[in-house]
Amino acid sequence: MIFPPTRLFAAKRALWRICGVYLGHGVSLNQGCRVVGSGPVSIGQGTWVGIDATFIVPDGGGVSVGSNCDIGPGVLFNCGSHAIGGRSRRAGAGLSKPISVGDGVWIGARAVILGGVDIGSGCVVAAGAVVLPDSYPEHVLLAGVPARVVKVISIVDEEVGN
């Protein structure tokens, strides 16, 4: 079945829910979004998931995205990794760590969020950033490879639109 890139969100939500993904009210899933693996995925109400966003969630991991988030096109959530192995094969035993994204977060296009990341509410992750395992405070701008806090975002009245 082929869906238009940015329409028929209710039908897309229904299919994802059948596959075991928790989706809050009004989540918008765009064309090419996918989940790989059997770990839990939860996306809060009113969140926009851009074209080709991918959730790689092996057992032991999980992705929790808060409400009213905006996830840009091509964003990768990757819970899976490997321990460093021996000389003959550096990718050792597989491992998986959860990812948590707070409410109101904006993740720019093609950002990579790795297992073990906890992003506080109200953050902005710049396009192309690679967010390494750590806990990041609320209301900051994360940018770069590897991502780091480059700015504290002032909390303003939403009515003003700043």
Residue 126 covered by a domain: no
Q: What is the pLDDT of residue 1?
A: 46
Residue 44 covered by a domain: yes
Query: Out of 7, 17, 34, 82, which one is annotated catalytic?
Result: 82
Q: What CATH number does the domain containing 72 carry?
A: 2.160.10.10
Residue 131 covered by a domain: no
User: What's the domain range around 62?
Assistant: 9-115
End-to-end CA distance of the chain: 41
Residue 148 covered by a domain: no
Indicate if the pLDDT at residue 58 is higher than 70.
yes
Residue 147 covered by a domain: no
As a whole number of angstroms, the distance between CA 19 and CA 97 comes to 21
Q: What is the pLDDT of residue 29?
A: 87
Q: What is the pLDDT of residue 8?
A: 66
Residue 79 covered by a domain: yes
Indicate if the pLDDT at residue 13 is higher than 80.
no
Residue 17 covered by a domain: yes
CA 24 to chain centre: 15
Range from 1-10, 24-33, 102-111, 144-153 carrying the lowest mean pLDDT: 1-10
The mean pLDDT of the chain is: 90
Determine contact, residues 49/70, Cβ cutoff 8 Å. Answer: no
25 given a catalytic annotation? no
Three-state secondary structure call for residue 160: coil
Mean pLDDT across 109-119: 98
Number of domains in the chain: 1
CB atoms within 10 A of CB 19: 8
CB atoms within 10 A of CB 148: 15
Indicate if the pLDDT at residue 96 is higher than 50.
yes
Which letter, b or e, does each residue of 114-140 get, where b requires 16 or more Cβ atoms within 10 Å of its Cβ? bbbbbbbbbbbbbebbbbbeeebebbb
Residue 32 covered by a domain: yes
